[in-house]
């Protein structure tokens, strides 16, 4: 791997920044390959192959952060980059009343990779284009399907992390995901249905999943929704959320508010803050409400073993049996909270400074079976598949639409419903959770945005089927 040959450049950056006087320095040397294909209306709308390699240097000078990146991987280029990173950190330090402190972290030396049985670059781009065109075509299951959309992304990232504490970590990652969507229309009723598959791994994703079959199912679903009944508003209804809907809910009202930088008000400029700031140890939900963030699950979009600060990853318990237990941390926020760092820092490329991000955030399991959950519900709704979120800045009040739902009457699924959204507040919903199934599923969720400049990242989210109470919003 060519990156290894440039290892000395990363070490040079660290040495140089230390010599200049930085208290702390880390360097991330990375090589990115990505390919994007978008097919709609039977045509390839985008077919992109990108390559980028470079280094990002983060320095702590007089208690203030500075960061600079470059694609100029010469000794001169790296030297200039380090000098700027040092200079701007120094400039920042004039207005840092409380110098940054980092919680101690062991300096690991490690090398690991994602298992990709079929390397992305071993499949001709031409073949991938053909696959996408075929799958998109399969979405048109009848005249009622007016538009199809297939979006594919493949990423290969080789990265190396070093710091002035002696850490040296190499990670070879590969990620693939694909979304298929069908839009249907009959008279004034317009519907759509979509699904995303994805993993950390190689092109074998499309061997594991029969994409042609999935495309046909999506087409049928979009058609079936045309015949579904529009949902009506019902206050405080019993709702059973499937893994896919639960994935977006946990992302928005558990994952984001668990980011310690957000808890500390550091994301207030755009994203917002967190209603549960200062509530660690308090009961915020029912006994059945547990949630984790865990990057160590192989095959997920949020997989990694060391974060972009070199901290070893582990499962983070965010909420246990209704009690708020902890947040996702950087070394810096861990120091503020007086806890051990838990490997929450990631950046999309070497060009960005890392931020606290979700990896795989999910609701914990219960002891119910899915069928039992439905059978034991006298009146309610089975709400399936995420659509659009709209969440307030404190992650308190939430509204999330679903792709479809079924009304439950006396323990049986009855009327098929379209145009469904649920709304509630986070604590009200958390307190209402009374059951969850055993089986947890992690759903790929590419496209989580945070930061300025914005970093759009891939994560995993999910959970079991969970039952709670929320207001069903019908069409206005």
Partner 1 sequence: MASVLAKLREAGETVLKIAEKKGLEEAEAYLVSNKVLTIRLVNNAVFESKGVHDIGVGLRVIKGNMLGFSSTADLSKKSLQKLVDAATSASKARKLPFKYSFPKPGKIPKVTGVYSKKLAELQPEKAVERAYEMVEASMSYSKKVKDNAGVLNIVSYETLVLNTHGVKAKNVGTFFEASLNATAKYRGKVSEGSEATAGRSIKELKPKEIGEKAAEMAVSGLKTQKLKEGIYTMLLDYEPTQEITSYAAMLVSPMIARLYYPLFLNKIGKKVASSQVTLIDDPLMHNGVGSAPIDDEGTPSKKRVIINRGVLKGFVYDSFYAAMEKKKTTGNAVRVSFAVGVSAFPGKNYNGEPIPLPRNPYIKPGKWKREEILEDTKRGLLVRRFHYTRLTNPTRGDFTSILRMGLYIVKNGEVTGAVRKSRLLDNLLKILQNVDAVSDKLVVAGSWGDYAHTPMIRTKAHVTPID
Site for partner 1 in 97-156 (CB under 8 A): 97-98, 124-127, 129-130, 133, 147, 149, 153, 155
Q: Is 52 in the site for partner 1 (CB under 8 A)?
A: yes
- DSSP assignment of 142-165: STTEEEEEEEEEEEEEEEEEEETT
- Going by their DSSP bridges, the two strands 360-363 and 466-473 should be labelled as unpaired
Q: With respect to partner 1, which residue has the nearer C-beta, 383 or 391? A: 391
Q: With beta carbons less than 8 A apart as the criterion, state whether 84 and 77 touch.
A: no
Query: Measured between alpha carbons, how far is 22 from 93 in angstroms, rounded to an integer?
Result: 12
Mask of contacts with partner 1, 8-47, x by CB under 8 A?
------------------------x-x-x-x-xxxxxxxx
- Where in 423-462 is the site for partner 1 (CB under 8 A)? 425, 446-447, 452-454, 456-458
Near partner 1 by CB under 8 A: residue from 29, 421, 433, 442: 421
- Where in 181-210 is the site for partner 1 (CB under 8 A)? 183, 185, 190, 192
Residues 6 or more apart from 375 whose CB is under 8 A from it? 411, 412
Q: With beta carbons less than 8 A apart as the criterion, state whether 53 and 30 touch.
A: yes
- Where in 228-267 is the site for partner 1 (CB under 8 A)? 264-267
Minimum CB distance to partner 1, residue 332 (Å):
10
Q: With respect to partner 1, which residue has the nearer C-beta, 14 or 225? A: 225
> What number of chain residues touch partner 1 (CB under 8 A)?
92
Q: With respect to partner 1, which residue has the nearer C-beta, 272 or 462? A: 272
Token pair in block for residue 45: 């709308």
Query: Measured between alpha carbons, how far is 57 from 15 in angstroms, rounded to an integer?
Result: 11
Minimum CB distance to partner 1, residue 37 (Å):
9
Minimum CB distance to partner 1, residue 337 (Å):
15
In what helix (H) or strand (E) does residue 92 lie, and over which residues does it extend?
Answer: helix 75-92
Q: Is 92 in the site for partner 1 (CB under 8 A)?
A: yes
- Where in 279-318 is the site for partner 1 (CB under 8 A)? none
Mask of contacts with partner 1, 370-409, x by CB under 8 A?
-----------------xxxxxxx--xx-x-x--------
Q: With beta carbons less than 8 A apart as the criterion, state whether 269 and 314 touch.
A: no
Q: Is 351 in the site for partner 1 (CB under 8 A)?
A: yes
3-class secondary-structure state, position 213: helix
Near partner 1 by CB under 8 A: residue from 14, 16, 89, 160: 89
Q: With respect to partner 1, which residue has the nearer C-beta, 135 or 465? A: 135
- Going by their DSSP bridges, the two strands 24-40 and 43-61 should be labelled as antiparallel
Mask of contacts with partner 1, 67-86, x by CB under 8 A?
xxxxx------------xx-
Minimum CB distance to partner 1, residue 370 (Å):
28
Q: With respect to partner 1, which residue has the nearer C-beta, 414 or 454? A: 454
Minimum CB distance to partner 1, residue 94 (Å):
7
Q: With respect to partner 1, which residue has the nearer C-beta, 325 or 428? A: 428
Near partner 1 by CB under 8 A: residue from 15, 87, 312, 320: 87
Neighbours of 412 (CB within 10 A): 11
Q: What angle do CA 309, 54, 173 make, to 5 degrees?
A: 60
Tell me which residue of 243, 245, 273 sits closest to 258, measured CA to CA. 273
Q: With respect to partner 1, which residue has the nearer C-beta, 219 or 464? A: 219
Minimum CB distance to partner 1, residue 62 (Å):
11
Q: With beta carbons less than 8 A apart as the criterion, state whether 203 and 345 touch.
A: no
Q: With beta carbons less than 8 A apart as the criterion, state whether 291 and 364 touch.
A: yes
Token pair in block for residue 200: 């950390």
Is residue 83 exposed (0-12), middle (13-18) or buried (19+ Cβ within 10 Å)?
middle
Tell me which residue of 326, 16, 317, 334 sits closest to 164, measured CA to CA. 16
Tell me which residue of 195, 113, 98 sits closest to 159, measured CA to CA. 113
Minimum CB distance to partner 1, residue 421 (Å):
7
Minimum CB distance to partner 1, residue 438 (Å):
31
Near partner 1 by CB under 8 A: residue from 201, 219, 257, 272: 272
Q: With respect to partner 1, which residue has the nearer C-beta, 172 or 397? A: 397
Q: What is the DSSP letter of 369?
A: -
Query: Measured between alpha carbons, how far is 407 from 405 in angstroms, rounded to an integer?
Result: 7
Q: What is the DSSP letter of 21?
A: T
Using CB under 8 A, which of the segments 5-13, 87-95, 213-221, 230-238 binds partner 1? Answer: 87-95
């Amino acid at each position: 791997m060519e990156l290894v040959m440039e290892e000395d450049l990363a070490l040079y950056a660290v040495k140089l920044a230390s010599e200049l006087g930085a208290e702390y320095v880390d360097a991330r040397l990375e090589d990115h390959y990505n390919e994007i294909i978008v097919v709609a209306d039977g045509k390839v709308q985008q077919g992109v192959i990108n390559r980028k390699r470079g280094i990002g240097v983060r320095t702590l000078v007089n208690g203030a952060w500075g960061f600079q990146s470059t694609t100029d991987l010469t000794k001169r280029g790296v030297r200039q980059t380090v000098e700027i990173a040092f200079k701007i950190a120094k400039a920042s330090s004039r207005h840092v009343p409380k110098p940054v402190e980092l919680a101690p972290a062991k300096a690991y030396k490690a090398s690991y990779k994602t298992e990709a049985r079929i390397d992305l670059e071993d499949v001709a781009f031409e073949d991938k284009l053909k696959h996408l065109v075929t799958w998109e075509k399969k979405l048109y299951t009848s005249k009622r399907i007016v538009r199809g959309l297939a979006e594919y992304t493949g990423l290969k990232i080789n990265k190396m992390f070093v710091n002035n504490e002696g850490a040296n970590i190499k990670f070879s990652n590969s990620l693939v995901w694909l979304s298929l969507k069908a839009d249907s229309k009959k008279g004034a009723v317009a519907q759509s249905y979509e699904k995303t598959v994805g993993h950390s791994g190689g092109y074998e994703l499309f061997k594991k999943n029969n994409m042609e079959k999935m495309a046909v199912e999506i087409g049928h679903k979009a058609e079936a929704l045309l015949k579904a009944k529009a949902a009506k508003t019902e206050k405080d209804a019993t709702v059973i959320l499937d893994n896919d809907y639960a994935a977006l809910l946990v992302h928005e009202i558990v994952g984001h508010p668990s980011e310690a930088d957000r808890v500390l008000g550091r994301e207030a400029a755009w994203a917002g803050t967190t209603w549960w700031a200062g509530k660690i140890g308090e009961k915020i939900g029912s006994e059945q409400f547990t949630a984790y963030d865990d990057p160590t699950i192989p095959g997920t979009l949020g997989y990694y073993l060391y974060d972009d600060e070199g901290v070893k990853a582990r499962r983070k318990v965010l909420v246990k049996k209704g009690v708020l237990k902890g947040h996702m941390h950087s070394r810096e926020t861990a120091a503020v909270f007086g806890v051990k760092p838990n490997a929450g820092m990631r950046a999309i490329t070497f060009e960005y400074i890392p931020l606290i991000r979700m990896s795989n955030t999910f609701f914990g399991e219960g002891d119910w079976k899915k069928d039992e959950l439905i059978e034991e519900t006298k009146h309610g709704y089975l709400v399936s598949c995420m659509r659009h979120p709209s969440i307030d800045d404190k992650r308190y009040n939430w509204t999330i639409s679903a792709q479809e739902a079924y009304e439950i009457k006396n323990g049986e699924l009855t009327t098929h419903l379209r145009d469904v959204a649920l709304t509630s507040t986070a604590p009200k919903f958390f307190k209402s959770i009374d059951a969850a199934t055993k089986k947890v599923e992690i759903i790929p969720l590419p496209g989580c945005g945070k930061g300025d400049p914005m970093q759009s990242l891939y994560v995993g989210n999910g959970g079991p089927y969970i039952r709670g109470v929320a207001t069903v919003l019908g069409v206005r």
